Amino acid sequence: MKSLIAGNWKMNGLTGSASEVEALIGKFSGALPEDRDILICPPATLVATFASSFSDEGVIIGGQDCHTNESGAHTGDVSAAMLADAGAAYVIVGHSERRADHGESDALVKAKAEAALAAGLTPIICVGETKEQREAGKALDVVGAQLRGSLPQTEDEMTIAYEPVWAIGTGLTPTIADIAEVHDFVRGMTGKDVRILYGGSVKPGNAGEILAVENVNGALVGGASLKAEDFYGIISAAPGNV
Ligand code: 13P
């Protein structure tokens, strides 16, 4: 399978931020590598313009969240169908920031993933333990429970992102052995065709080592995806077919 390097811009980016994506494409001299997928998930306000500007250049565009319903009286929410209509191909669901900030349960995340699939999007379903849970030796139990609760029962294409909560935005990462252990565990629960991304403080300097781990099929990158130079470094460090 091709590796997937995904940028989650979170609540960052204005129209002028398109220049970072242009700079990223420019670093590849206009031709993006074909042996890996490059995805950018900007805020919902930028999905349509980014998709129309960059999809033809080979940058895949995705959303960061979706509602479970296709439409209706849900002020402020965005549906998977709307993201697809705007040109998105993927949507992140169950990011730990949404689980924490909006109290999203595994059942809700599963319903969002199902809504994404129904709209023709590939969901990126996020799981990961807190620092306390890891220190208590419960990382695999937590990730296993999240997967059992959040994964739709389907043969449709989906992607999993293992993002330890304590590694997000902190500069901390698990050991390579710990990343391998969780990814092997996730592989055992999902099957061979599912891409399993690692996320949490991925930088140009550690991407090569992390992305070389068996069953790590790509990365979900936060802060370092906002800067063309850093994101380019991570994409370049990735093995192509994994
Ligand atoms: P950072 O790369 O900034 O640690 O964020 C990771 C993340 O949450 C991606 O979804």
**pLDDT tens readout for residues 189-237:** 998 899 999 999 999 999 999 999 999 999 999 999 999 999 999 999 9
Ligand 1 contact via 200 beta carbon (within 6 Å) = yes
Pocket lining: 96 vs ligand 1, CB cutoff 6 Å: no
The two three-digit tokens of residue 188, written as one number: 């055992």
CATH number 1.25.40.10 given to 3-237: no
Q: Which of 67, 66, 63, 25 is nearest to 47 (CA)?
A: 63
Angle in degrees, CA 139, 144, 146, rounded to 5: 100
Q: From CA 241, how far away is CA 164, in angstroms rounded?
A: 25
Sequence spans of domains, the chain: 3-237
Could you tell me if the CB of 202 is within 6 A of ligand 1? yes
DSSP 45-94: HHHHHHHHHHTTTTEEEEES--BSSSSSS-TT--BHHHHHHTT--EEEES
Does residue 169 have its Cβ closer than 6 Å to ligand 1?
yes
Distance 169 CA to ligand 1 centre (A): 6
List the pLDDT tens digit at each of the 242 positions of the chain. Answer: 899 999 999 999 999 999 999 999 999 986 899 999 999 999 999 999 999 999 999 999 999 999 999 999 999 999 999 999 999 999 999 999 999 999 999 999 999 999 999 999 999 999 999 999 999 999 999 999 999 999 998 888 899 999 999 999 999 999 999 999 999 999 999 988 999 999 999 999 999 999 999 999 999 999 999 999 999 999 999 887 76
Strands 3-8, 36-41: pairing kind: parallel
Reported pTM: 0.97
Q: Is 163 a catalytic residue?
A: yes
CA 223 – ligand 1 centroid, Å: 6
User: Of 97, 104, 114, 163, which one is the catalytic site residue?
Assistant: 163
Is the C-beta atom of 218 inside 6 A of ligand 1?
A: no
Q: Which of 201, 210, 211, 227 to mutate to test the pocket of ligand 1 (most atoms within 8 A of CB)?
A: 201
Measured from the Cα of 167, ligand 1's closest atom is: 4
